[in-house]
Every structure is written in structure tokens, then in C-alpha cells.
Structure 1
Amino acid sequence: MGRNTGAVNYAVGSASGNPINMYIHGGAVLSFFTFLFGLASTGNFDQAMGFLFDFYLAKLLPWPLDEAYLAQTLTEFFYSHAITIGVGIASASSRWWASY
């Protein structure tokens, strides 16, 4: 099995087998980017940490409550899950591909 085929198999297996791990991984990646974008937009480390803590504390709530807290509609709830899991799958699959 080649590197590209293995990465696709890893992504499909992660999405169908255990998406909760990809959700957690994606949440960590999104938290990091939230901090970077907060730092870039405010230019202040303290305010960027405030953005990060607001986002991360919302993620510390138990699984369905965190997304219900952040989302205002049911559609946003589903989009948020899809984006977070998608980011987790893309990040983990690219790390698998790079380490092969």
C-alpha cells in the first residue's frame, strides 16, 4: 500500500471508526488557530489568550453541551461538528502521510 492510499484509508477509517478522536484533535487544532487569529487581530497577547480561553472553556463542557453553547441554531450545531471533525481528519491524515 502506498503513502497516498494509506492516508486515504486512514482518513476513511477515522471518519467511520471513531470520529470522537478526530473531534478532539480538530478541537485542539482549532483552538490553536483561534489563538493565532486573536493575536493577529488584536496585537495583544492578553486579549488573544482571552479568545483562546473563551473558545477552549466552551469546549471543556461535555460533548453535546459545548456545541449547543456555541451554536445558536441546529444547522450551526451540525456544521460545527462537521468542520471540527473534518479539521481533525485532515490534520491527522496529513501527519500520518508525513510520518509514513
Structure 2
Amino acid sequence: MIEKIVKESEKGILIDIEVTTNAKKNEIGKINEWRKRIEIRIKEQPIEGKANKAIMKFLKGIFKSEILINSGTTSAQKTVLIPDKTKDDIVKILKKEIKSI
């Protein structure tokens, strides 16, 4: 399933995520198999881009790489772009981080 969520593009690696805001802590949840997205929980509220900034900062810490929101800036369902990692690198990191794997 994770291979369907992590995709290669000309610009880098794309990951489909679903964000829950106002969480108790920042964390990667499980894979939502129905939506084919990785659940991300963020403490920030979705006000004035605070949650998006928190997502990018949180994921940057996990992937040790620049993170850009490729689509879904005003939605809970987003696609993030990691320009300087390989798909294998990302899948390996996610397998360590995701709770349902």
C-alpha cells in the first residue's frame, strides 16, 4: 500500500497525506487504506497557514529534507513534495514511522 501513496515525479517524491489539526502531539499516524493517504496529526490549528507550516517543519525533521506542499493547501488532504530524496529512501523512513506497518 505504501508504494501507492509515495510516487515519483519530475520534481521529486510526492506523498499523499491527510492532516488532522488540533492534535495532542505532532505525529505520523497510520495509512488510511480507503483514501490511500498517510495520516498526519499536527498540534497547530488551520488558521493563517499555521498548520501547513507545522506540517512542513514536522516532516522536514523526519525526512531531513526540504518539504513543499504540492497541492491541498486549504484542504485536509494534501500532497507534499520532497525534491531531494529517492522513493526508496522515503519508503524506508515511512516504514519505520507509520504505526500500522
Q: TM-score, normalised by structure 2?
A: 0.31
Q: Counting helix residues as a fraction of each chain, which structure ranks higher?
A: 1
Bigger relative contact order (CA 8 A; separation at least 6): 1
Higher strand share: 2
Give the TM-score taking structure 1 as reference length: 0.31
**Larger CA Rg, structure 1 vs 2:** 1
